[in-house]
Structure 1
Amino acid sequence: MSQTKAALRERAKEARFLLSPSQIAEYSSNITERLLDILDGFATVMVYAAKAPEVETAGLIADLNRRGVQVVVPIIERETHTLRLSYLPDPSLLIPSTFNVPEPVGHELPARPEDVEVVILPMLAFDAEGNRLGYGAGYYDRFLCRYPHPQKIGIAFSCQQAESIPTDQNDVKMDWIVTEKGTNRPNGSDT
């Protein structure tokens, strides 16, 4: 199974690599608009801070802050393979950190995982059933197994969709999949 996952990761990376910076910006903007509709009414939302060439989240974070939503970002704990959470009232505090992921290093405002209502996750690949393939370290899966209560929204570009993602007992399904082309609720309806 790991060879299949590795092949799917490579295919998704190659597909994403073919997107131009202007396509990434346009598609990310479309994804942000769809997310803002879904997130209406939530008070505390965890959003990953994107690194190129992922779906950009800076605009989403800024829009949520303007709406008065408490934005939480994950901080990678490399030694323990876990995520620590921090509120992010000001996106300018983000600087590249572990794995070059933007984090509020030196400006952390600790957040409780129990307060998070929704988690926005990056997906390297995904399928229509809500299965997500990340980068392989399992940070989000471990976090979501420990704190299963939030809604889980995976975001990616449509070119990263696979026919099927192999899963095991540690993989956590998404409640929503959002791409530039639309939204999919694997246990609900597409829009």
Structure 2
Amino acid sequence: MIDKRALRSEMRARRMGLAKDGLQAASRAADHAHHLPQVACVAVYHPIGSELGTGPLVEALIARGMDLCLPVTLAQDAPMIFRRWTPGDPLEDDLAGVPAPFPLAGAVVPDLILAPLLAFDGQGLRLGQGGGHYDRTFAALPDAIRIGLAYAGQQVEALPFEPHDIALHGVLTESGYTAFA
């Protein structure tokens, strides 16, 4: 069985190396935004560390007329909620220490959730940071379209699957969009 802790460490190092071309990769990923389904509200994320940036994609989604929101962690073992967000809105750190909209922004339920990741495979499995925030949120919002946002170099041959893991519907990288069955 694959040791997820060791795999996370390896994939963090790989993603750090891929991030040297981060701005170009984020712009190229945004060039493929037209492959994403047209929905009313998209959950994006505030990139942390070497996660693929969302700035160019945010601009592309706004140009397509989509509303945006950001995830908010209110409790460690609960699904995240989402609050409306427009670039430039003030943010405050949530319980996980990630910048998030203030409560006055209003809670929404996104139609599509863009999720950061450490690795993904051809079956749509996603390796996250290990906190379970996105898996709990995916379970709580089963009708939301789940799309990973990553560098193409984060793809691996296969990832271990556990009962709480919820597969992605697709992944968007600088190389294009891939839908999973």
**Distance (whole Å) between structure 2 residues aligned to residue 80 and residue 172 of structure 1:** 16
1:26 equivalent to 2:24? Answer yes
**Distance (whole Å) between structure 1 residues aligned to residue 56 and residue 143 of structure 2:** 26
Shift of 1:100: 4.1
SS of 1:77's equivalent?
A: coil
TM norm structure 1? 0.84
Shift of 1:71: 0.7
Q: Percent of pairs identical after alignment?
A: 28
Contact 1:50-1:102 at 8 Å conserved across structures: no
Structure-2 residue corresponding to 1:54 = 51
More helix per residue:
1
1:82 equivalent to 2:79? Answer yes
Taking structure 1 as reference, are residues 46 and 75 closer, same or farther at Cα in structure 2, changes over 3 Å only?
A: same
**Distance (whole Å) between structure 2 residues aligned to residue 60 and residue 161 of structure 1:** 20
Contact 1:127-1:161 at 8 Å conserved across structures: yes
**Distance (whole Å) between structure 1 residues aligned to residue 9 and residue 120 of structure 2:** 13
Alpha-carbon deviations, 1:107-142, whole Å to 9, x = none? Answer: 53221x2xx221111111111111001111111111
Structure-2 residue corresponding to 1:137 = 131
1:128 equivalent to 2:127? Answer no
SS of 1:184's equivalent?
A: strand
**Distance (whole Å) between structure 2 residues aligned to residue 37 and residue 81 of structure 1:** 32
Structure-1 residue corresponding to 2:8 = 9
**Distance (whole Å) between structure 2 residues aligned to residue 151 and residue 160 of structure 1:** 21
The alignment yields a C-alpha RMSD, in angstroms, of: 2.0
Contact 1:125-1:162 at 8 Å conserved across structures: yes
Unpaired runs of at least 5, structure 2:
none
* Counterpart mapping for 1:42-191 below 5 A: 42-105=39-102, 107-111=104-108, 113=109, 116-187=110-181
**Distance (whole Å) between structure 2 residues aligned to residue 161 and residue 181 of structure 1:** 12
Unpaired runs of at least 5, structure 1:
none
Taking structure 1 as reference, are residues 157 and 20 closer, same or farther at Cα in structure 2, changes over 3 Å only?
A: closer
Alpha-carbon deviations, 1:79-109, whole Å to 9, x = none? Answer: 4432021011234423554444221236532
SS of 2:18's equivalent?
A: coil
Shift of 1:63: 3.0
